[in-house]
Amino acid sequence: NSIGWTFCSSSVADATTSDVVAPASWTIFGCQNGLRLFKEAKDRESHGKWNDHPAIMAVGVVDGTSEAIFQTLMSLGPSRSEWDFCHYKGSVIEHLDGHTDIVHKLLRQDWLPWSMRKRDLLLQRYWRREDDGTYVILYHSVFHQKCPCQKGYVRACLKSGGYVITPVNQKKQSVVKHMLAIDWRFWKSNLQTSSARYITIHMLGRLAALRELFIAKLGDCSSSYFLEEHVRDKKLQQVEEVEVEIQTIVENGKKMADMEEEVAKTPSEHASLMGLNDASDEFFDVSEPLDYDQSENGWPSDFGPEMYSQVLPA
């Protein structure tokens, strides 16, 4: 079902957006900034000649979900300046229904040819979501009494245009198609064809900027992920060090207990204790008292007062 980009009213939009870009109606003519560039192929065109206001499409792969890309494209706020080098300011003039509104866009001048006056666009915007997760955004120029022509601007006419965002690679990436067929309203007819084509192709380059934005976002997420991984590894290393230290303490405690047991069993040591004849001495010196477990009354736990009463002379 070969369906063109021309926007229809919202009442019949469902029937016209099921296959917005028909593969047979486009011919590739170049590649720029990682984007494939197509022009609309028409029977009346001969030998590949361009018409006055050609429909041109850019196609690229963006590392993002179709929903995230859709939300980015729909935004007219400050975040749009992170990728849309054509955009200066945008606003919603009127909401027509849940899927259609009127938007006004002021374009920057610094990306246009130096002799070209500033342009703006007043567009009817329609969007929908397909069952497979594909998002479709369609535009075409309209008139609206609440938004007359702006002073200092020439209002360009978008004959048809928009985006198709199709999820691929298990919805981790999306193929994005961006199409424009626009009359830039040049006052010299001899400049129309070549200049219009150049400016339209330049404007389609926003898709490459959008792709780079999502790459940067993915890089930020990766950096955060690796930082979290580093923190987790550091904590795990600290836990392992504590476990090793505890194990060492336990092993040293076992060795000390074995030594104390040997002391208790050695006759020579018992003899040395029996030889203490100073009744006023109730304690004996230990070189490192902190190595022994002390009970509350100050006696070493293995040598209570009962043992001393047995070994000390009366």
What percentage of residues in the chain have a pLDDT greater than 90?
Answer: 51
Lowest-confidence range among 84-88, 119-123, 132-136, 279-283?
279-283
- Going by the DSSP 8-state scheme, the letter that residue 312 receives in this structure is S
The two three-digit tokens of residue 65, written as one number: 């979900």
pLDDT score of 33 more than 70: yes
Q: What is the pTM of this model?
A: 0.65
For residues 150 and 28, the answer to whether their CB atoms sit within 8 Å is no
For the CA atoms of 270, 272, 274, 278, what is the dihedral angle to 10 degrees?
-150
Where does CATH 3.30.530.20 sit in the chain? Answer: 10-221
Tens digits of residue pLDDT in 245-302: 677 666 666 666 666 665 555 555 444 434 434 444 443 344 444 444 444 444 444 4
> pLDDT averaged over the chain?
76
Q: How far apart are CA 130 and CA 242, in angstroms?
A: 55
Q: How far apart are CA 48 and CA 272, in angstroms?
A: 114
> Among residues of the chain, what percentage have pLDDT more than 70?
57
Using CA atoms, how far residue 246 sits from 236, 291, 311, in Å, is 15, 16, 36
Q: To which residue do tokens 């919603």 refer?
A: 92
Closest CA to 203 of 47, 71, 54, 76: 54
pLDDT (0 to 100) of residue 86: 97
Instruction: Give the mean pLDDT of 143-153.
Output: 95
pLDDT band per the 50, 70, 90 thresholds, residue 54: confident
- Do residues 74 and 100 lie in contact, with contact meaning Cβ atoms separated by under 8 Å? no
20-34, 74-88, 101-115 — which is least confidently predicted?
20-34
> Span 155-175, mean pLDDT?
96
* Residue 75 or residue 298, greater confidence: 75
| CATH code linked to domain 10-221 | 3.30.530.20
The tens digit of pLDDT for each residue in 179-236 reads 999 999 887 655 566 788 999 999 999 999 999 999 999 876 654 544 455 555 556 6
CA-to-CA dists, residue 34 to 44, 204, 232, angstroms: 30, 12, 38
Task: Give pLDDT, residue 226.
Answer: 43
